[in-house]
Amino acid sequence: MPELPEVESLRRSLLPYIIGQKILNIKILKPKLVSDKGTKRQISESKTVEFINELTNETIIEIKRIAKNLIFVFESKKIMIVHLKMTGQLVYKSNIDLSINSGSQVVSGGHPIEESQSSLPHKHSHVIFTMENGVLYYNDVRMFGYLLFYPNWETLENSEHFSNLGLDPFEPSFTLENFKVKIKTKKAKIKSVFLSQEVVIGLGNIYADEVCFAAKVRPDRNTDTLTESEIESIYLQIKRIMPLAVSLGGSSIANYLLADGSRGNYAREHKVYNRSGEKCLICGHILEKMIINSRTTVYCPNCQN
């Protein structure tokens, strides 16, 4: 599943191609994807019809991000949320030649689906937006993702779609004082708290390991044992690592591509994630692993306390 840096990289990559375009036609082949966000979704004919009718002929003016959700904002103030979940993919295929020898431009981000490299649409193409200058495809192998329509921001906020989310590392509200207040309300393993997204969003399995290592704190420490200096160190490492990961395009460990089809390369910066049994790059001690919240967690028993 893409983590926050990967989603933010995708958002930035799509902006030059999508902004200012009007949706001329929408084809929905799997209605459950626009019916709800839960794991067990019931197909809603009324929501499917609403999705099509309300967003057809609408012009995209902005793409925002809340947590791992992409928020498409339209000129009329209408909203579309896109969450790729585990195997979702967005592919935009332009019908305009962007250079003399380029042919039509294709940009994609998300789970790499082999069929997308050779033919579009294909069997995993479930929602198709025909635009003025190209086509945007939402492809999803396991169909865990979703695309939801909201008439405006107020309706979205009242829906509590983003309730219980923590601080966003890229927002001004992510201050040391706010982080301290949030983390001191928890009494659980540090990595469990990160994975819950209730203190700070975007620290999934990869970045939770990397932040804990950089802060020299074991990921299985309980948050109520952290000293003031350790909390500050964790905060500072989040502030350093997350923007760096975005600037490098994310990690692309297993299945994440950027909108230009390339893989993120923050993986080259990993100090502990996926390196169990290898030597610590700082002290040379063999890195060990444990399971926290059913996720493999790698740490250095010598560098981290």
Give a three-class secondary structure readout of the chain.
CCCHHHHHHHHHHHHHHHCCCEEEEEEECCHHHHCCCCCCCCCCHHHHHHHHHHHCCCEEEEEEEECCEEEEEECCCCEEEEECCCCEEEEEEEEEECCCCCCEEEEEEECCCHHHHCCCCCCCEEEEEEECCEEEEEEECCCCCEEEEECCHHHHHHCCCCCCCCECCCCCCCCHHHHHHHHCCCCCEHHHHHHHCCCECCCCHHHHHHHHHHCCCCCCCEHHHCCHHHHHHHHHHHHHHHHHHHHCCCCCCCCCECCECCECCHHHHCCCCCCCCCECCCCCCECEEEEECCEEEEECCCCCC
For residues 157 and 85, the answer to whether their CB atoms sit within 8 Å is no
Q: In 10 A of CB 28, how many CB atoms?
A: 20
Annotated catalytic residues are 2-3, 68, 295
Backbone angle region of 57, left / alpha / beta, with phi > 0 → left and psi within -120 to 50 → alpha: left
Two structure tokens written together for 89: 């993919």
Length of the chain: 305
For residues 195 and 208, the answer to whether their CB atoms sit within 8 Å is yes
